[in-house]
A = this chain, B = another copy of it.
Amino acid sequence: MKIDILIKNGIIIEFDKNPAISSIAITDGKILEIGKELEQKYDAKQIIDATNKIVMPGFINTHSHVAMSYFKGLADDLPLQEWLSKHIWPVENKFLSAEFVEDAALHGCAEMIKNGITTFSDMYFFGDQTAMSAEKIGIRAVLGEGVLDLPVANYQNADEIFAYIRKMHDKYEKSELIDFAVAPHAIYTCGKENLIKAKDLALELGILLHIHLSETKQEVQNCIKKTGLRPVEYLDSFGFFEGDVVVAHAIWIDENEQNILSKNNTSIAINTNSNLKLASGFDSFKSYLDHGVNLSIGTDGVASNNNLSIIEEMSFTSKMQKALNNDPTIFPAKEMVQIATIGGAKALKKCDQIGSIEVGKRADIILIDINNIEAQPMYDPYSHLVYSLTSEQIKDVIINGKIVMKDRQLVNIEEKELIEKAKYYQKKIAEFNHVR
């Protein structure tokens, strides 16, 4: 039988069994079979020799702002409000446009792939351009158009954003890679009326609802002052969690709120690096697990991380949680890898499609080279994925059954063009910052 790709003799990560050397047959974007000696059975257009490679599901990044690429390292080590109001918002105000986002998103998508991310769930503006860039590079994305009360980007009001989301939902209906989502920015930028409209739209279209929530103590205190309720309780009071919801950050959430999230199958996108870098805080996620809340990994934007390494997120998250809980056994390596893959799939309600290597699922697979001194010796692939390796060892990325990175070279775009464009924008942004 003719197939598209045969991945041969890799160390396959299947969560219900020990890692073992096996092969994967891929065709029409899906995993057809997992087994040994598949070469006899299939005639593959492309054969990938996965000897000395870990073959695993691609990472799923459930919270990002991919088009913030050109703001990487623009302003660090600043108090949050100053960072936002004196640096980030002014540059966004000056530069955000369809063209800027298309370029920046292409750069960001390229970084995602180099970090082994095969699906990302984004929150930003000009989602159509982000979608074009994502499709061009071949990455899977759930694109949440940001909703705020005040005018933002090219919108005069939230109703325009809702109309745009409807339009995009229709436009990308048949896309195998792109979904749209409704992304009310936060409870302090989006009043109750627009939060309800956002929730209703997501429910009506059957799409994801994606919000920043309980990122800082101040946010929680302000919510209590204003509504008498904690943020999750406040949102729950008007059925915000009824549909498919991902809340990003969520580090100031008490047990009652955890129960609400769990009861509603609402997932959390953990953003450890961002939370720490902005001194937003930290929390033990053990309690969330105990309350049955689904966890996933986000990177936030590169202006507050400042890279898109899921491996670093897994590493720091696991270690932080061990120390916070005074328990080195908590968040072990395999669990972290699952949170970064199947946990993300659950969050995006795409468990039937992605998040693990299983027959019938989409072929979103990454190959990680262990034939190097950083990865040798290896006793447990999961351990290495979380504690030893870096994105440098991620060599090949397959998304929807197509190779998008091979031997650490992007297939659909030239990295040097992205670099030139980044330098072009860097000059303009640096000049703008200098003169104001």
Q: Which residues of A contact B (CB under 8 A)?
A: 69-70, 72-74, 76-80, 83, 107, 110-111, 114, 273, 275-282, 302, 305-307, 309, 312, 315-316, 318-320, 322-323, 325-330, 332-333, 371-374, 376-380, 383-384, 387-392, 415, 418-419, 422-423, 425-426, 429-430
**Shortest CB–CB separation between residue A180 and chain B, in angstroms?**
26
Q: How far is the CA of A383 from the CA of B305 in the complex (A)?
A: 11
Interface residue from B76, B80, B279 paired with A332 (Cβ < 8 Å): B76
Known A279-B323, A383-B306; contact A329-B77, beta-carbon cutoff 8 A: yes
Do A322 and B276 have beta carbons less than 8 Å apart?
yes
Q: How far is the CA of A383 from the CA of B87 in the complex (A)?
A: 15
Closest B residue to A391 using CB positions: B390
Q: How far is the CA of A137 from the CA of B318 in the complex (A)?
A: 34
Do B376 and A78 have beta carbons less than 8 Å apart?
no
Known A307-B387, A388-B306, A430-B379; contact A373-B107, beta-carbon cutoff 8 A: yes
Do A391 and B392 have beta carbons less than 8 Å apart?
yes
Q: How far is the CA of A138 from the CA of B280 in the complex (A)?
A: 43
Known A279-B326, A390-B392; contact A373-B114, beta-carbon cutoff 8 A: yes
Do A376 and B426 have beta carbons less than 8 Å apart?
yes
Known A276-B320, A281-B323; contact A379-B74, beta-carbon cutoff 8 A: yes
Most B CB within 10 A of own CB, among A279, A309, A419: A279
Chain B residue numbers with a CB within 8 Å of A77 are 328-330, 332-333
Do A323 and B280 have beta carbons less than 8 Å apart?
yes
Chain B residue numbers with a CB within 8 Å of A430 are 379
Do B383 and A73 have beta carbons less than 8 Å apart?
yes
Do B73 and A388 have beta carbons less than 8 Å apart?
yes
Known: A111-B373, A379-B430, A391-B392. 9 other contacts (CB 8 A): A72-B388, A76-B383, A76-B387, A107-B373, A305-B387, A312-B312, A312-B315, A378-B426, A392-B392
**Shortest CB–CB separation between residue A361 and chain B, in angstroms?**
28
**Shortest CB–CB separation between residue A218 and chain B, in angstroms?**
11
Known A277-B322, A372-B415; contact A79-B377, beta-carbon cutoff 8 A: no
Do B377 and A426 have beta carbons less than 8 Å apart?
yes
Chain B residue numbers with a CB within 8 Å of A277 are 318-319, 322, 328, 387
Q: How far is the CA of A107 from the CA of B83 in the complex (A)?
A: 43
Chain B residue numbers with a CB within 8 Å of A379 are 72-74, 426, 429-430
Do A73 and B312 have beta carbons less than 8 Å apart?
no
Closest B residue to A115 using CB positions: B374
Do B377 and A425 have beta carbons less than 8 Å apart?
yes
Chain B residue numbers with a CB within 8 Å of A302 are 388
Q: How far is the CA of A40 from the CA of B307 in the complex (A)?
A: 40
Do B380 and A73 have beta carbons less than 8 Å apart?
yes
List 27 interface pairs A-B (beta carbons < 8 Å), by A numbering.
Answer: A72-B376, A72-B379, A72-B388, A73-B379, A73-B380, A73-B384, A74-B379, A76-B332, A76-B333, A110-B373, A114-B373, A114-B374, A279-B322, A279-B328, A306-B387, A307-B388, A307-B389, A312-B315, A316-B316, A320-B320, A371-B419, A376-B422, A378-B426, A379-B426, A379-B430, A390-B390, A392-B392
**Shortest CB–CB separation between residue A78 and chain B, in angstroms?**
6
Q: How far is the CA of A322 from the CA of B83 in the complex (A)?
A: 15
Most B CB within 10 A of own CB, among A76, A320, A415: A76
Chain B residue numbers with a CB within 8 Å of A282 are 323
**Shortest CB–CB separation between residue A273 and chain B, in angstroms?**
6
Do B374 and A111 have beta carbons less than 8 Å apart?
yes
Closest B residue to A335 using CB positions: B77
**Shortest CB–CB separation between residue A169 and chain B, in angstroms?**
30
**Shortest CB–CB separation between residue A309 and chain B, in angstroms?**
7
Do A380 and B76 have beta carbons less than 8 Å apart?
yes
Do B328 and A422 have beta carbons less than 8 Å apart?
no
Do B79 and A328 have beta carbons less than 8 Å apart?
yes
Chain B residue numbers with a CB within 8 Å of A328 are 77-80, 83, 277-279
